[in-house]
Amino acid sequence: MNVVVVESPAKAKTINKYLGPGYKVLASFGHVRDLPAKDGSVLPDQDFEMLWEVDSASAKRMKDIADAVKSSDGLILATDPDREGEAISWHVLDVLNKKRVLNGKPVKRVVFNAITKKAVLDAMAEPRDIDVPLVDAYLARRALDYLVGFNLSPVLWRKLPGARSAGRVQSVALRLVCDRETEIERFISEEYWNISALLKTPRGDEFEAKLVAANGKRLQARSVGNGEEAGKLKALLEGAAYVVDSVEAKPVKRNPGPPFTTSTLQQAASSKLGFSASRTMQIAQRLYEGVDIGGETVGLITYMRTDGVQMASEAIDAARHAIVDQFGERYMPEKARFYSTKAKNAQEAHEAIRPTDFNRSPDRVRKFLDADQIKLYDLIWKRGIASQMASAEIERTTAEITADNNGQKAGLRAVGSVIRFDGFIAAYTDQKEDGEQSDDAEEGGRLPEINARENLAKQKINSTQHFTEPPPRYSEATLIKKMEELGIGRPSTYAATLATLRDREYVTIDKRKLIPHSKGRLVTAFLESFFTKYVEYDFTADLEEKLDRISAGELNWKQVLRDFWKDFFAQIEDTKELRVTNVLDSLNESLAPLVFPKREDGSDPRICQVCGTGNLSLKLGKYGAFVGCSNYPECNYTRQLSSENGGEAEGGAQNEPKNLGTDPVTGEELTLRSGRFGPYIQRGDGKDAKRASLPKGWKPEDIDYEKAMALISLPRDIGKHPETGKMISSGIGRYGPFLLHDSGYANLESVEDVFSIGLNRAVTLIAEKANKAPGGRGTPAALKALGEHPDGGAITVRDGKYGPYVSWGKVNATLPRGKDPQAITVEEALALITAKAGKAPVAKGRAKPKAKAAAAEGKAAKTAAKPKAKAKAPAKTKKS
């Protein structure tokens, strides 16, 4: 019997079926060791020795693997076919060697790109040794990331309070987002005009032609820059006669794109399906590891962490046969297509992401997949089969037209396209039963019949004003594309890098756009000022290239670390001399548009408008950066640096207090202000002034006197309870809107209810709360079923009082902060459950059986040894 080690339990079950009784397949559940998250895990002074740690859950799994290996004939390491997979195999082998359980037994390494019976059996027939250079590249990457994170982050904490962490790839990705925001802030919009003519042929057909030349000059895009110039050109066209100079029809071919890589799949899933990068990878992982298809668990796609675009020759043959079966002979090109990647430093050894069987069309597997799985599989299948289909044949027609107004001439152009043969486009449209597609499909609109030298009638002249727009903010998809272009990061790191930026609250996502938070911009500005080299795109890309060269056996990994550490350590040491004032002065300059936005009245944005004499500057507090006056404490003016939407104040709030009116009872002024924690209403001045934060959903620009008075007057008395005679009031607290009665609380559905709820409804809600079963709501309904635990019993995701958690039997494990409960995988859930079960304390009043028996025996022994107690004296009477 041979022991086979894979990464996930789902994969283990499937592969065990393929291999049969001569094998025992066990899961490592990902990495079995990691560097402890503390200083001293990588030791540069000891030639970068790395001190690994096995957590309790992994220790139990490694014990199971070790016990199985003791009684086996050999060990087969079958983890994923990439750098991380190679590293996991190396870790497992190293731990087993330290346990001394191998005793000379053969150890083999196998890799398969797909979880299918053929792929697994073929891999077993071609074992190899562990790829040492690939492991060295992993060790170098892990050490570099550790050394940067655990040496740079403390510098941030000391010099930039409120910053969370810095990372080798994470900080460069953040810089991309922040640099784009700076571009947007500095962008100056320019006016331009587009001019076109609606014309009619002698046969009565209308079409539009755009102005491309006037008075002998060719007009470039946006070359008509103002209304006056546009008006002159419109006048020329209004009184002109039109004649067709030429009509040219050119055949054009459109070729399909290559199959998906990790980054292109993430980009397509984001733009077409709205999936985040991490969500895409979770769904792809499930499709790769296997889905139950009519009683058989089958991997539907090949391995999903790759930057290669080529397909295996047998896959190309299978795709070509499927094209003939499903679309017809005409859709298969004479020769197979071969692709090469354009990505910087791509690892060509990996195959592209494709279906494991092209005959499994989306329609055939739809009933076995959930909604998200079929969407992603559909995307992968269509892209894969289209990559081997015939080119689309398009006829592009261009008509050149002259407008003549008494010798003043202008040129116009009309363009239309017609698809004569759809080719690979057929994969993205509904297939007909006979596999044929209709010819002459339109692409971008076709022109009517237009003949050279014929006159045209003018119908209408259109002149439209436009303004140039700033470059768009990055989405997850476009940021991944940019990182890939620059050679930053690798397929396995993209999703994790983006998740870190969100978790650290360095960026926020609004309508799928990445917006740098103020703390993210501060960190980037700090690193650009004092660690310039380490956030440069070329430097990071060069380091990635060195890591790839290590994996190819061309560089020594320890030497790469030595070269990096020498300069990096010196830079860290230099920052010890930095004063916080130096840091703030630098940030004031580099972030001037963010810190000191222009004022409408044109006054100096660096002068405090409250006291009129103090200079505004960045200040650092316990919760991060804010803007304050240099005349503190005489002038206590402060405001938040910015909000999640970039450089503007929160929700558009004014930088200075906005007077809303006077409280009729106290005579104090009501003002709308923007503070470090967001916009708020303040009544009066000084330390005793009453303040009330704007509730979620309330925008500063919508706040008027009535809303401000309602908010500052909370809590609101609703009326006395008819049974208790005690007042019921409403308010807004830390956990949202509420009712208060007799020291008890009841939740309200919305902020509006706080100001509008009547006595009858309030009494009903209080009664409903009181009638609820003591101790809570019972077991919450399952949000998602994940499947069966290897030891039996269902694993579910539920939403509890303190947030979402995974549940198995009596074990409940809270999800990490920010984790989407719908996105968690069964592997992640198992890890959480295992970790929780290992730490679970014995419930109060429920001793373990053995402990309980021992306690009882001990108690009996003590009782027997003690002399009988004397009768108690009567209790003393308490004096009145």
Q: Is 242 assigned a catalytic role? A: no
Q: Which of 639, 645, 644 is nearest to 599 (CA)?
A: 639
pLDDT of residue 623: 62
Query: What single string gives the DSSP state of each residue in 376-395?
Result: HHHHHHHHHHHTTSPPEEEE
Could you tell me the strand order of the sheet in which 678-683 lies?
A: 658-662, 669-675, 678-683, 690-693
The DSSP code for 8 is -
Across 231-245, 670-684, 825-839, the highest mean pLDDT is recorded for 231-245
Q: Which is more confidently placed, 434 or 247? A: 247
What's the CA gap between 535 and 178, in Å, rounded?
Answer: 12
What's the CA gap between 721 and 717, in Å, rounded?
Answer: 11
Sign of CA dihedral 642, 643, 645, 651: negative
Angle at 342 between CA 257 and CA 537, to 5 degrees: 130
pLDDT of residue 865: 41
pTM over 0.85: no
Across 140-154, 430-444, 652-666, the highest mean pLDDT is recorded for 140-154
Long-range contacts, 850-859 (Cβ 8 Å, 24+): none
Burial 113-147 (b: 16+ CB within 10 A, else e): bbbbbebbeebbeebeebbebbbbbbbbbbbbbbb
Q: Which residue is it, tokens 């731990």?
A: 95
What's the CA gap between 640 and 679, in Å, rounded?
Answer: 9
Q: Which of 272, 265, 346 is nearest to 308 (CA)?
A: 346
Q: Which residue is it, tokens 């094998």?
A: 23
Q: Are 23 and 2 in contact (CB under 8 A)?
A: yes
> Does 860 score more than 60 pLDDT?
no
The residue-averaged pLDDT of 188-203 equals 94
Note the pLDDT tens digit of each residue in 603-641. Answer: 888 898 888 888 998 887 766 678 888 888 888 788 777
If pLDDT is split at 50, 70 and 90, which confidence band does 842 have?
very low
Q: Are 619 and 630 in contact (CB under 8 A)?
A: no
The DSSP code for 270 is I
Note the pLDDT tens digit of each residue in 439-480. Answer: 444 455 789 999 999 999 999 999 999 999 999 999 998 999
> Does 90 score more than 50 pLDDT?
yes
CA dihedral 391, 397, 398, 403 (to 10 degrees): -160
Task: Specify the 3-state DSSP secondary structure of 331.
Answer: helix
Catalytic residue among 242, 303, 331, 637: 303
> Does 845 score more than 60 pLDDT?
no
SS3 sequence, 549-612? Answer: HHHCCCCCHHHHHHHHHHHHHHHHHHHHHCCHHHHHHHHHHHCHHHHCCCCCCCCCCCECCCCC
What's the CA gap between 274 and 509, in Å, rounded?
Answer: 13
pLDDT of residue 850: 43
Q: Are 444 and 208 in contact (CB under 8 A)?
A: no
- Kind plus residue range of the DSSP H or E element containing 122: helix 117-124
Q: Which is more confidently placed, 8 or 319? A: 319
> Does 775 score more than 50 pLDDT?
no
Long-range contacts, 869-872 (Cβ 8 Å, 24+): none
Q: Which of 873, 782, 870, 797 is nearest to 833 (CA)?
A: 797
- Kind plus residue range of the DSSP H or E element containing 836: helix 826-839
pLDDT of residue 782: 65
The residue-averaged pLDDT of 200-206 equals 94
If pLDDT is split at 50, 70 and 90, which confidence band does 781 have?
low
> Does 855 score more than 80 pLDDT?
no
pLDDT of residue 93: 96
Q: Kindly list the structural domains of the chain, giving each domain's residue range(s) and its CATH number in brackets, ordered by start.
A: 2-130 (3.40.50.140), 191-255+393-467 (2.70.20.10), 262-390 (1.10.290.10), 716-771 (no CATH), 782-836 (no CATH)
Characterize the bridge pairing of strands 23-27 and 2-6. Answer: parallel
Q: Are 703 and 681 in contact (CB under 8 A)?
A: yes
What's the CA gap between 43 and 41, in Å, rounded?
Answer: 6
Name the percent of the chain lying above pLDDT 70. Answer: 88
If pLDDT is split at 50, 70 and 90, which confidence band does 555 have?
very high
Query: How far lies 532's CA from each of 172, 183, 193, 489, 620, in Å?
Result: 11, 19, 42, 18, 22
Q: Which of 487, 486, 483 is nearest to 496 (CA)?
A: 483
The residue-averaged pLDDT of 213-239 equals 91
SS3 sequence, 659-718? Answer: EEEECCCCCCEEEEEEECCEEEEEECCCCCCEEEECCCCCCHHHCCHHHHHHHHCCCEEE
pLDDT of residue 879: 38
If pLDDT is split at 50, 70 and 90, which confidence band does 657 have?
confident
What's the CA gap between 620 and 572, in Å, rounded?
Answer: 21
pLDDT of residue 620: 75
Q: Which residue is it, tokens 């497992």?
A: 92
**Number of residues that make up the chain:** 880
The residue-averaged pLDDT of 92-112 equals 93
> Does 389 score more than 80 pLDDT?
yes
Residue 44 neighbours by CB under 8 Å, 6+ apart: 147, 561, 565, 569
